[in-house]
Amino acid sequence: MQAVLDYLKRNQTRFVAELCELLRFPSVSAQPQHKKDLRACAEWLVSHCRAIGLEAKLCPTAGHPIVLAKTPRDKKSRKPHFMVYGHYDVQPPEPLDLWQSPPFAPRIVGKSIYARGSTDNKGQFFSHLKAVEAYHKTGTPLLCNLTFVLEGEEEVGSESLSAFLKTHRRDLACKAVVISDTGMPGLKYPALTYALRGIIAFEITLHGPARDLHSGVFGGAVENPAMALARLLAQVRDVNGRVTIPGFYQEVAPLSRFERQQAARYPLKDAQLKKLLGPPELFGERGFTPTEQRSARPTFEINGLTSGYQGDGSKTIVPSWARAKITCRLVPEQKPEHVRKTVLAYLKKICPPTVRLEISAGHGAEAYHVSPTSPLAQASIRALRQAFGAEPILMREGGSIPIVNQFKKILGADSLLLGLGLPDDNAHSPNEKFHLACFAKGQRMSALLWQELARV
């Protein structure tokens, strides 16, 4: 084992350079013009996996390709099998003018590496690849068989991977799935995440006049779709931060005492959170703490709002349409399809007859919950503790990784969520970064993990 840890230490500079290469691919899954970049990124990963001793191949899908890479094994091997899941696709980098350096020109500033995808998720899953490299290159036997599944559609709902799991369910059957695609509260607070929120996504468009109109000539006699949309959206939440859609909270599982205690121990305090995020005041559902609000309560969020003229100067029009991109975060027991129906029925009901409501449905996923006391979870806690030299905390996270539900349903495997991202990593924001210490300690954690998990 010492040889593995020494190898990791000795090779950090090269690892960082390799991660920079990976970060140069603009693998933005949401934007069709990047299709080729996703493919190129996947090909780079396949050849990198081969170079570090894995048997790797590129698996085409209806969408972006999946990279499948295995540690070499005998047919008869009786070592426990684990999957490592990650995603090489990234969020759109816009708005570009807010980046201090271009999003796909990775740059090291201080102790962090800045680029889109650095923390979410390339840097995080790359830590696991480097740990395996260390085993192979030092000739240290790995006590587990590992299969890496790296997909290119996580940020858009993981559609192709669901189908892939079904066709490869035998091959991918495993004791658990290890995922580093979440966060930790600070370098001194490694974390095991035991719950994620679910999600539903959709877009609504209100159509008014057949074309943009002169607002002086016609304004006042037709509904303004942007005004109508503002009114509509304003009606879904009250001043106490509660969603007012009838039935929205119907299935929500109440928070247990244990969970509220656990949330209260979360080390990032409200004042720090406010400072980090920069709003004039924090705001959330009354009766819950910010930690609870952002991890254990459902929400209704506008992700994008578009209507009318967006260019320089003014243009006096009544816009023909207005659109909102919306997601709701879900918590355990909420069924995505039920929430979707409830929400859309309400929007239809309150939509005035002066505009036409068009709805387009997007992806959806249930929330996820896994026991933090299982032997495998406890083994991962030991690996985190040793690697970070600090006591790991148990936490819920507000983000979603839709595919974890399919890992459970199709493969019967729980996910061990061992996140390496920091709260100030700017995931999904301009100037995304990944801390080099998270990278290095993540590699150590991964190396130690296979020992700990093999013993369970």
Question: Quick one: 342 or 400, whose CB is closer to ligand BES?
Answer: 400
Binding map of Zn ion across residues 62-101, x = CB under 5 A, - = no contact: ----------------------------------------
Helix (H) and strand (E) counts in the chain:
14, 18
Which residues, in sequence order, are bridge partners of residue 70? 55, 147
Contacting range for Zn ion; rule: CB under 5 A; set: 47-55, 56-64, 117-125, 263-271: 117-125
Binding residues among 220-239 for ligand BES as defined by CB under 6 A: none
- At its nearest, how many Å lie between ligand BES and the CB of residue 45? 17
What stretch of H or E contains 165? helix 159-167
Residue 120 found at the interface with Zn ion (CB under 5 A) = yes
Q: How many residues of this chain interact with ligand BES, rule: CB under 6 A? A: 16
Q: Which residues of 246-268 are buried (b: 16+ CB within 10 A; e: fewer)?
A: eebbebbeebeeebeebbeebeb
Q: Environment class of residue 385 by beta-carbon count within 10 Å: exposed (0-12), middle (13-18) or buried (19+)?
A: middle
Q: Residue number with the shortest CB distance to ligand BES?
A: 399
448, 438, 378: which is closest to 182 by C-alpha?
Answer: 438
Owner of token pair 């991918």? 172
397 binds Zn ion (CB under 5 A): no
18 touches Zn ion by CB under 5 A: no
Length of the chain (residues): 456
Q: Is the dihedral of CA 71, 55, 70, 157 positive or negative?
A: positive
Q: 182 to 221, contacts with ligand BES by CB under 6 A?
A: 182-183, 196, 199
Q: Does 155 bind ligand BES (CB under 6 A)?
A: yes
CA–CA gap between residue 118 and residue 73 (Å, rounded):
31
Nearer to Zn ion, 120 or 285 (CB): 120
Of 129 and 161, which CB lies nearer to ligand BES in the complex structure? 161
Residue 181 binds what, of Zn ion, ligand BES, none (CB under 5 to 8 Å, by partner type)?
ligand BES
- Within 360-379, the residues that bind ligand BES by CB under 6 A are 363
Q: Which residues pair with 99 in a beta bridge?
A: none
The residue range among 119-127, 272-280, 292-300, 371-379 that interacts with Zn ion, by the rule CB under 5 A, is 119-127
Should residue 153 be labelled a site residue for Zn ion when binding is judged by CB under 5 A?
no
Task: State yes or no: cis peptide before 303, omega within 30 of 0.
Answer: no
- What is the chain's Cα-based Rg? 23
287's torsion region: left (phi>0), alpha (psi -120 to 50) or beta? left
Among 63, 93, 157, 209, binds ligand BES (CB under 6 A): 157
Provide the token pair at 430: 């301009």
Task: Tell me whether residue 120 or residue 133 sits nearer to Zn ion (CB atom).
Answer: 120
- Kindly indicate which of the ranges 21-29, 96-104, 249-257, 398-406 contains the residues binding ligand BES, using the contact rule CB under 6 A: 398-406
Cα-Cα-Cα-Cα torsion 230, 235, 237, 239, nearest 10 degrees, comes to 90
Q: What does the alpha-carbon distance between residue 356 and residue 100 come to, in Å, rounded to a whole number?
A: 42
Phi, psi dihedral angles at 298 (to 5 degrees): -75, 155
Query: Quick one: which segment of 64-72, 180-188, 302-310, 387-395 binds ligand BES (CB under 6 A)?
Result: 180-188
- Nearest residue (CB) to ligand BES, 119 versus 443: 119
For the bound state, the minimum distance from the C-beta of residue 259 to ligand BES, rounded and expressed in Å, comes to 16
Q: How far is the CB of 184 from ligand BES (least distance, A)?
A: 10
Q: Which residues pair with 56 in a beta bridge?
A: 69
DSSP 299: E
Nearer to ligand BES, 308 or 423 (CB): 423
Are residues 90 and 425 in contact, defined by beta-carbon separation less than 8 angstroms? Answer: no
Centre a 10 Å sphere on the Cβ of residue 50 and count the other Cβ atoms it contains.
13
Q: Which is nearer to ligand BES, 208 or 421 (CB)?
A: 421
- Give the nearest distance from C-beta 199 to Zn ion in angstroms: 11
**Binding map of ligand BES across residues 110-139, x = CB under 6 A, - = no contact:** ----------xx------------------
Binding site for ligand BES (CB under 6 A): 120-121, 154-155, 157, 181-183, 196, 199, 363, 397, 399-402
